[in-house]
């Protein structure tokens, strides 16, 4: 009988593990470009139900399997970049995605194990357990965004990125705080399914307060009139140069001709915006290229473009991924060097020990810049610069000392074709706009270029693998948000408030529903 019981238990644990993996995969569908909002409580609620009465080790394993499904499917687009030079890197595509997913899955594993440990120490359940689950998840996301180089891609909060009102609380809580509320609402709904009688109604009341609070506060924010437009005219140029051709020998003149031709279309504008590494070479060292740009900038226009740069340091030059501002005389007015570099794309971590090449051709490893800075370009409002995936880091895209009036995000997502990666990248840019209360102007080589206002609304956009321009006025900035002023320091007060509520509910003797006193299940 005992043998049979163990067999049944192990079979159930295996099936639950498969369920956790599938729930993680389903959670990907909650994110852009799918944005299936109904799956948010289904996916995260399922994870809660799968771990709620486990021992910490098994709960951690369930969290890891959830993360494996979440990151394995959510980051599958990374494999596209290995096919650009398939002869050298194609065989690494699947192992790279699998390895990265397995590593990132350690964060939800940690969250689930910690959740069970905290619940055991307090012997809590019901609404209190929902609070703790959400806090552990949000804490793990924060760690994922900061440990080593950080990788805060596809935060749970981004399930709300496509919904105008629901994404607005990021202005006060940031994306990590909004993730907490997303997970809290999901688990409360799962708890309500398990509850009975008055406890079910109490749990549903909390769920309604969270969801209603998100929507109402967001509606209030977006219903306020926007400030008058700046009067600054911009032209975003999407050259749509395939990544395979971008760095081909002799390609630079043709690429420059394409960008100059597109830039000359339409009426005169105040500024031209080109994407990351729009010119595949050292522009400031090429007199012919600078002369051609000078001719296109006559009339007082300025050009903001992504270009590689290098400076000599002893016998070895240092390379930078930069944004440079040019005026009509070909003079560099100012510049910004990317500080959050892409591992294995712009540098090889632990390069002395890892015998492998970067995915990007030519040049050496890039050197990180000093960090976010505000640029003063004559004729334009103060601007902040973010290159490529720097835009995914909440609270780390704007100079803390001098607040800009807008953010210029130059990127090259050509590496990822028409996969879901560029859509997810765009969602991050929208969330940064809300958090900072600043418009984000996005120039992408193959898309998605966009004009995003300070509420995260897309005013205009150019789709993937489209050649063209966007002519638009520069939207106005909003006053600095709470998150823009305080950053992640808003999270400790939120955590303290949540913990006090949890203690209050626990001490008041509220009925525990669906999360009974935890017992070790050693057979697992």
Give the catalytic positions in this structure: 276, 338, 388
Query: Cα separation of 417 and 345, whole Å?
Result: 16
**CB-based contact 167:160 (threshold 8 Å):** yes
**CB-based contact 298:270 (threshold 8 Å):** no
Can you say how many angstroms the Cα of residue 439 is from the centroid of all Cα atoms in its chain? 17
Can you say how many angstroms the Cα of residue 291 is from the centroid of all Cα atoms in its chain? 38
Q: H-helix or E-strand containing 226? A: none
How many beta carbons lie within 10 A of that of residue 197, not counting itself?
9
Q: How many angstroms separate the Cα of 222 from the Cα of each of 143, 163, 164, 166, 406?
A: 31, 11, 8, 10, 18
Q: Is the peptide bond before 383 cis (omega within 30 degrees of 0)?
A: no
User: Which of 462, 347, 354, 338 lies closest to 391 in space, CA to CA?
Assistant: 338
User: Which residues fall within 8 angstroms of residue 283, CB to CB, at 6 or more apart?
Assistant: 289, 290, 293, 305, 307, 324
Query: Cα separation of 241 and 437, whole Å?
Result: 32
User: Which of 148, 147, 156 lies closest to 71 in space, CA to CA?
Assistant: 156
Buried b (16+ CB within 10 A) or exposed e, 351-383: eeeeeeebbbeeeeebbebeebbbbebeebbeb
DSSP 165-219: TTTTTHHHHHHHHHHHHHHHHHHHHHHHHH--THHHHHHHHHHHHHHHHHHHHHH
How many beta carbons lie within 10 A of that of residue 499, not counting itself?
14
Q: At what angle do helices 170-194 and 198-223 cross, to 10 degrees?
A: 160
Query: Cα separation of 433 and 161, whole Å?
Result: 11
**CB-based contact 21:50 (threshold 8 Å):** no
Query: Cα separation of 143 and 138, whole Å?
Result: 9
């Amino acid at each position: 009988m005992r043998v049979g019981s163990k067999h049944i238990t192990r079979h159930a644990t295996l099936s639950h593990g498969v369920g956790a993996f599938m729930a993680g995969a389903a959670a990907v569908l909650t994110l852009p470009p799918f944005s299936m909002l109904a799956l948010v409580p289904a996916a995260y609620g399922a994870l809660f139900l799968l771990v709620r009465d486990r021992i910490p080790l098994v709960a951690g394993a369930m969290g890891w399997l959830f993360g494996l499904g979440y990151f394995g499917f959510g980051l599958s687009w990374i494999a596209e970049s290995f096919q650009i030079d398939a002869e050298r890197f194609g065989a690494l595509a699947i192992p790279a995605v699998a390895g990265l997913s397995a590593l990132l899955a350690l964060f939800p594993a940690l969250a689930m194990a910690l959740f069970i440990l905290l619940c055991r120490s307090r012997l809590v359940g019901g609404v209190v357990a929902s609070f703790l689950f959400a806090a552990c998840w949000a804490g793990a996301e924060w760690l994922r965004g900061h440990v080593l180089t950080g990788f805060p891609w596809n935060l749970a909060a981004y399930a709300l990125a496509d919904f105008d009102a629901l994404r607005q609380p990021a202005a006060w809580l940031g994306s990590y705080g909004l993730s907490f509320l997303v997970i809290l609402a999901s688990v409360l709904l799962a708890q309500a399914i398990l509850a009975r009688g008055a406890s079910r109604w109490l749990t549903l009341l909390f769920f309604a307060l969270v969801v209603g609070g998100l929507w109402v506060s967001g509606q209030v924010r977006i219903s306020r009139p926007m400030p008058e437009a700046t009067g600054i005219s911009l032209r975003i140029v999407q050259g749509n140069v395939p990544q395979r051709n971008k760095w081909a020998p002799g390609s630079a003149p043709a690429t420059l001709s394409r960008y100059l031709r597109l830039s000359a279309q339409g009426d005169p504008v105040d500024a031209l915006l080109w994407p990351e590494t729009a010119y595949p070479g050292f522009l400031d060292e090429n007199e012919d290229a600078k002369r051609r740009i000078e001719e296109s900038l006559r009339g007082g226009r300025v050009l903001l473009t992504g270009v590689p740069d290098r400076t000599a340091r002893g016998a070895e030059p240092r390379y930078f991924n930069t944004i440079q501002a040019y005026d009509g005389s070909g003079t560099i007015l100012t510049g910004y060097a990317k500080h959050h570099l892409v591992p294995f794309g712009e540098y090889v971590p632990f390069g002395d020990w890892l015998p492998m090449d970067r995915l990007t051709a030519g040049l050496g490893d890039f050197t990180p810049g000093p960090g976010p800075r505000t640029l003063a370009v004559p004729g334009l409002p103060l601007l902040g610069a973010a290159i490529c995936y720097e835009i995914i880091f909440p609270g780390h895209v704007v100079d803390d000392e001098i607040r800009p009036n807008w953010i210029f995000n130059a990127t090259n997502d050509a590496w990822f074709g028409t996969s879901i990666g560029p859509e997810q990248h765009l969602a991050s840019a929208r969330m940064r706009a809300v958090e900072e209360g600043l418009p984000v102007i996005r120039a992408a080589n193959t898309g998605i270029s966009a004009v995003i206002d300070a509420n995260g609304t897309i005013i205009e956009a150019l789709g993937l693998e489209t050649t063209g321009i966007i002519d638009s006025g520069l939207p106005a900035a909003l006053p600095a948000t709470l998150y823009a002023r305080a950053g992640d320091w808003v999270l400790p007060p939120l955590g303290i408030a949540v913990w006090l509520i949890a203690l209050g509910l626990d001490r008041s003797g509220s009925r525990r529903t669906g999360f009974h006193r935890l017992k070790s299940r050693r057979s697992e």
